[in-house]
Every structure is written in structure tokens, then in C-alpha cells.
Structure 1
Amino acid sequence: MPPTGTAARSWVVPLAWTAVLLDGFDLVVLGTVLPALLRDHVWGLTPGTASVVSTVGLIGMMLGGLIIGTVTDVIGRRKALIIAVLSFSVCTLLCAFAPGVVVFGLLRFLAGLGLGGCLPTAITLVTEYARKGKGSSATTTVMTGYHVGAVLTALLGISLIPAHGWRAMFVAGSLPALVLVPLMIKYLPESESFERVREVRQAEGKPATDMVAGLFRGGLLRATIAFWVTSFMGLLLVYGLNTWLPEIMRQAGYPLGAALGLLLTLNLGGVAGLLVAGRVADKLGARRSTVGWFVGAAVFLALLSVRLPSAGLYIAVFLTGCFVFSAQVLVYAYIGRTYPDAMRATGLGWSAGIGRIGAISGPILGGALLGAGIAYPWGFYAFAAVGALGAVAVSGVRPGTGSPVPAVSPAAESRPVA
């Protein structure tokens, strides 16, 4: 039986945060090991083959969001999150022993399935245990784990790869599951919202199916399409900028060292933005805040096309990170407030899954602009236009659509989650 009670609830955020941190590991681990793989001609890997492997992993994450997000509304949040963490950790470990690029790519795809399902499931669980009126800040707090994982992985690669080789990175990435999974089995509770839904289904004899079709019924059609388009735009920005910002700035005449420093500044801004954005959304509402954050992303991306003095440039990049990375997380928070209990994870999973198409498209867009020699300044104008389209898309969600997140219990409401 899943653990219950106030003590069990206190484990929800730490365990979900750690699971999302491991998702952040995957964000940068391939980029961390690729220089070593290409330098040593491992498996005869070329930049083109490496791009295929990267894309295959993202496709796995897309399908994982669609499949596991939906399954979560059938089997429960607790079980789905444990399965997701266990599956991607095992596949990550096996990557260290891959005999060739085909097997390596297959394992990256399979790991992506678990990783893609981890994020929407963790957000769903945290949202349903959040104190009343604090759902947005709970979501953004848990998502800081994503960026912390990315930063820690980059630092780990600096120390681990020269001493122990690229395979050690995948072993290190799988080891936390040895602690995390047993802790989740012992302490992670099931969502009380899901338990209520399951009891109603059993009492009425209704099967736990047809959640995907439910995303388009009951006045949710417009919201669902708007969330999908917005997630596509949001993840296009995140992955496009993380992939190409250093090279675009180098084309603008900045030295490579400064360009890499700007990438670090962008991600630090992302963490700061997450800490602020959720609290703003709790006060002003998810819809208004999400639209505002995409508008802010568009404004500061356009500003990067202007040659600024050094201090002004770093401030502009920091603020760009604040808006770009938080905007998509606010979309997840807004989704959590829009869909009813019975299909919340499905809504999050499908939005995240469709968004992964944007994650694939972002690096392609940046690469095309660089190949054409117009990445600076037109790359920033293009990304700014994407941010503006995200604002327009999310504004298409009608205020009051769906049902609000219910309070789970008096005990849960009295406990600060985030």
C-alpha cells in the first residue's frame, strides 16, 4: 500500500524534485560526452550521426510524454513516476556499455521514453499536493531541479570524463536511482485527487479510458490546442537558445569565452526566473502571468540583437533567461489548473510531448540561420517572433476553462509545499 498521512506528504516535493533533477541530467549529458566521442572517433561517430542520436532521444521523450502521461491517469501518479525513473535509469546505465552507435541510439530512445513521462507525472503529483493557491509556485520550484541537474552534470563532466572516460558519465547518471527508487517505493504517497477519481470510477463502473478524447470535450478543445501550440513555441526557445546562443554571439563578434559565459548567464537567469514566476502566477493568475512571460521573452530576445556594453549585455541575457525558461514552466502550471483530476496528467503529458517537436525544431531553426549566415541579428528576431506567437497562443485559452485544482485535505492545505 502507498504511504499516507502528513509525514508521507512531506516527501512529495523532495522526491519529485530529485526525479526532475535526473531529467535535467539528460538535458546536457549527450552534449557533455559528444566532444570526447567525436575526438576519439568512437564507433566512427560524425557530427551528422551525433545529431541523429540526439534527435532520436528527443523523439523518445516526445512519445514518453504522450504515453506515460496518459497511463498516469490510469495506474496512478506514484506508480507511473517510479516506473519512469527506474526505466530511464536502467537505460542510461546500459548506454555506458553500448557496443555501437545503433545500440547507443536505441538506448537513448528508450531512456527518452521514461524521461518524457517523468516530467508531466512529477508536476501532476506536486500540483495535486500543493497548498491551495500555490500550485504555480509548486510547479516552478520543482522545475528548478531540471536546471540544477543540468548545471551539476556539466560540472561532473569536467571532472569525470578526463579521468575516467565518457562511459563513466552514464554510470554516474544512473546511480542516484539506487537511492531514489527505494525511497519512492517506501515514502512517495499516491495523489489523493487520483484516489478520489478511482473510487468514483469503481463506484460507477466506468473504465479508466478515453482520457485523450476528453482533452477535446467539455469546452477544453480550444484550451488543448492553445496549450499544444504554446508548448511547441516554449520548448523551441529553450532548446534553440541552449544549442546555438554561444555560436550566435560568436558570430556577433564576441570571443568564445564570453559566449560560453553568456550561456551560463542565460541558465542562471532561468533558475532565478523560476523562483519568481510561480509566485507571481499565484498572485496574478496563471493566464495573465504566462502571457506576460512570453511577451517578456520576446522583448528581451529582440533586445539581444542590439550591440550593448558588456554589463548591459549580461543583464539582458540574464533577464532573457528569466523569461524564456520560466514561460514554458508557467504553461505547465496553467495546464495543471485547467484540466480536471481525471485527465490532468494526460493533459500535461500531451502538451509536453507535442512541445518536444518544438525542442527538435529549435536547434534546426538556429542551425539553418547560422548556415545562411544571418544568425546575427536575425536569429534573435526569429526567436523573438516565436516568443510573441507563444503569447498569442496561450492567450487563446478562455479564462475559467476547466476546473480548478481542488484542495486535497485540511492537512495538505496547512502544509507549505513550495
Structure 2
Amino acid sequence: GWDNMQFILKNANLTTNARFAVAEALIASGQWDKLSPEQKNLVVNNQQGLLAIADSKQNMQIWNEMPDSVKKILGDNKDFLQNKETAQQALTGWNTLPAQTKKLLGNDTDFLSKKGNAAQALNTWNSMPENVKKLLGNDKDFQNKKGAAASALKAWDAMPENVKKMFANNADVLSKKKGAADAITQWNSLSPKQQKLLAQNLTGDGVSQAQRAIDSLPKEKNTTLTTTHKNIFQEIYEKITKHATGTNYHQGGLAMVNDQKGSLYKELITLPTGQSFIPEGRDVVLNLPKGSSVLKASKTAQLIPKYAKGTGGIPADAKIFRDMRAVQQQLVVNTPVVDNTELLSAILKAILDSGTNNDVIKAIQSLANRPSVSVFDKKDAAKTLTKLISENQEKDTLIQTLIGGHNP
């Protein structure tokens, strides 16, 4: 009788499946509904996830129809067992999965072997917009390819909410392709830095830029997305954030500059006001106003040929270059002035009057004849340069050393 069962439930070390079996027997005999809340909790060992299943005929039916492999994984999941909401979401998610996908997940030992995967995947599916579910439900890979469903669900779960919204709002574009599951999974191919930057950009003007990027995808039916565009997220990312090849007109918002590979990577930024500067460091993220331009690294280097070819026999930590870097730091920090031709000409004349004729001065001559490339305050820059010239340039010795290609 109940007293004997109560003793067993209190004292025996019953597995989750055993407790389910007891609950099922009580339900089948019509006794479950007669139990008090305390008695029901005794049956399920106060695990609210189990109670959510036993207390609902529909949930119990869903549970009974699950493959044993999935039951075992969920039965070992602490959050599923103890959290009523988590259990309900997982059951609802499983119930709405396409039949073939249920079979695939039930047989995917790699997926099921990782703790928490099953419950998380079901919750993810349950939280997806209906149009995305429909899109995946018609996707052959999602339905038939081992690992595709698990990978797509995991990738979707990792997406920031605004990226999910962008994807869901463009399901009509993807529905004409064969690669919906693959398109979602491609999110994982972006680096964490790219994922973060793309998500940050999907506000304001960035949303319309992303939409234009998606609208530019070919619309032909029966075109595999991964064949035409290797990565939809990479396409969008590069269109709205990445300027490794420069851009004449930035649409506004966050942009990553100095992101080219190799030793040549510094890029000249020009704002709509005409102010120009070269950021220090690699992969610099800037919030640039609409209309800004980014001059690619190769063209930026042409403005200062000496740096494009390296520093030759002069070491990078030579005093003259340390002084030049100090000036550059001063230029970047102070209030910008675009027209510096007069100032550069005056400095150049002062140095030439000293009899200097070396590569550094040739580089400055080239710079003086080109448009402004740096942002600086005229008075502060003049003061800094004058002090550096008077203190550091030893006219005869330094000139001869540089011309001879020796270290200063």
C-alpha cells in the first residue's frame, strides 16, 4: 500500500527513471490526482522538473515518446530536474521539433554526451521565432545531416538578440536558399572580436547597412547560400565594419581600421570636417561619423615613403625616430588644424638652411607637397618641433652619420 511505498520513496536511493515509473503507475491507477502536494513531492524527491511532467498528461506523453538516450541526458541534468520552467521549455521544444530532427538528435551520441546540450538545445528551439523554425524545418541538412541540427541550435543560442532579430527579419531571403542551417551555423566562424563588433553595429544606421548587405545577396532559387556567399555574417560584417581595403564613404557608426595583415597596416582616417589622423595600434575600433574616409594602408604609406620601406640602417629606437614619434603623439592629441603646409615649409627651410641633405628631409619634402595627413595644433606643434630641432640635431655629426647609413 501507500505506507510501504512511502517508506521506499523516503529511504531508497531511487534513480530518476525509477521515480518516473512510480509516478506513471500512480497516474495509470488514478491515484496521482488524489495525492497531496507533499506526497507528490515525495514521489519526485522535491524535483520540480519531474513534478511538471508528472502533473501534466501532455508532458508525460511527450516524455514517454522521447528516445531513451534523450531521457537519460535530461534525467541527469540538474537544472531540468529541479526547475519547472526549464523542464516545461525543454518538453515544449522537443514536441515541436520536426520528427526527423528528433531522430537525429536522439542518435547523435557526440551531442548527447556533453552535459547540458540536450536541455539547452530544446530550450533554444522553443525560443526561436516561428518563421526561423519553419525555415529550418524545411532545410534538408537540418533534417538529415548528422550534427547539423545541433550545430545550428548552438550557433543560434550564441547569437546576441539583435543579430537573431536581423536574421529572423530576413528569413524570406534565406528561404529561397538551401542553406538555412548552414547560414545560422556560420555565426560561429566569426572571431569573438568580429561577433562583438557586428552586434554593436546593429543599431541605428548599422541596421540599414546590414539590410543592404543582405539585399545584395543573389535572389535566384536553388542557389546554395554557402556556394554563392561563403559566409553571410562575414559579408555583412565586412560591409558595415571592416575597412581593410579602405572606403571612400563610411556610412557612420563603429568601424575597425588598421586591420590589414602583415607589417603594412596603418590607415589614414579623414573626417567629414577635413581633419585627418592615423590611429595607433592594430584592429582599432572607432565610432566614425557618416562621410568619413579610410585610406588603405598601401596608399597611406605612400605619403611617407621612408616608413613604407622600413627604416633602413637606422634602428627603430634611434633618437631621431623617438623624437618623431613624440611629435606624432603631440599631433594626435591636440586640436586639429587641416592646413599645415605653411608650417611644414618653414620647418623644412630651417633644416635645409643647416645644410642637411638626407632621406629624412626628402620624406618631409614629399609630405610638404601633399595634402595634410596629420591632425595637430599649429602653435603647439611649432613649439614642440622647434625645441626638438634645437636640442637634438647636432648639425655636422648627425648629418654625416645619416648620410653614411650608420646609426646616429
* TM-score, length-scaled by structure 2: 0.20
Q: Which of the pair has the greater relative contact order for Cα pairs under 8 Å at 6+ separation?
A: 1
* TM-score, length-scaled by structure 1: 0.20
Instruction: Name the structure with the higher strand share.
Output: 2
Q: In terms of Rg, which structure is larger?
A: 2
Instruction: Name the structure with the higher helix share.
Output: 1
